[in-house]
Amino acid sequence: MPISKCPPKSEPLWKAWDRKAQKNGLRHQVFAINGDHYVGKWKDNMKHGKGTQVWRKNGAIYEGDWKFGKRDGYGTLSLSDQETGKYRRVYSGWWKGDKKCGYGIQFFGPKEYYEGDWCGNQRSGWGRMYYSNGDIYEGQWCNDKPEGEGMLRLKNGNRYEGNWQRGMKNGWGRFFHLDHGQLFEGLWVDSIAKCGTMIDCGRDEAPKPTQFPIPEVKILDPDGVLAEALATFKKTEERD
């Protein structure tokens, strides 16, 4: 009885090509249709691990950690400087889900930067902001603005310590006029002092003291007067 042998079935070529096209592990430059390119590690066709991404449209470069196609972990984002032609660092810190999250430093300009906590690409938590005019804010942030307890130290040495809301002085706070040797303590609304007390503080050491010291208050109950004024102001605010 004759014996027939069936030749083994060959794998379709498209399967072999598809298997070779799967990106896993370390790869050299992989270009996208729009001109972006990436060098680094892959997993299941997604950027995963250490890698460098270059965006053609704005020339941005990200170097750092990736997780399933998104920036996740520690990384640095840089942009091309149009004047010098060199790359300048914009952000160095932690990322999660392709957004700044955790501790990081953001550079807004040559003399303006923020160092502190981030959440969802916004300054949130504790942080210190150095402004280009020489002012420094240190304290709590929420939704990319000062919120909660914080201190603003101006370039001339004067400073505010107290509460903030929506990026403005709101609530109880103290403003040290060190250049004049005075201290204001009281209630603020949208960065405007509404009610409080002003006293001399370090007037003898002040570089530009006021011409005359603040006279002694002769009210029998100054604290009671202030409390009554605060209560009246709060009632007005509630009616409005």
Does any domain span residue 226? yes
Q: DSSP assignment, residue 220?
A: S
Residues 32, 27: Cα–Cα separation, whole Å: 14
Question: Residue 237: its pLDDT value, please?
Answer: 64
Does any domain span residue 73? no
Would you say 139 and 146 are in contact if contact means Cβ atoms under 8 Å apart? yes
Does any domain span residue 114? no
Six token digits for residue 44: 């299941």
Report how far apart the first and last C-alpha atoms of the chain are (Å, whole number).
106
Does any domain span residue 89? no
Could you give the dihedral angle defined by the CA atoms of residues 114, 115, 117 and 119, in that order, rounded to the nearest 10 degrees? Answer: 40
Does any domain span residue 210? yes
Does any domain span residue 103? no
Question: Residue 97: its pLDDT value, please?
Answer: 96
Burial class (CB in 10 A: 0-12, 13-18, 19+), 6: exposed
Does any domain span residue 195? yes
Judged against a pLDDT cut of 70, whether residue 5 lies above it is answered with: no
Residues 212, 27: Cα–Cα separation, whole Å: 75
Residues 118, 93: Cα–Cα separation, whole Å: 9
- In terms of residue numbers, what domain contains 224? 156-162+174-231
Does any domain span residue 202? yes
Tens digit of each residue's pLDDT (9 = 90 or more) over 66-108: 999 999 999 999 998 877 878 999 999 999 999 999 999 999 9
Domains in the chain: how many in total?
1
Judged against a pLDDT cut of 70, whether residue 58 lies above it is answered with: yes
Tens digit of each residue's pLDDT (9 = 90 or more) over 95-104: 999 999 999 9
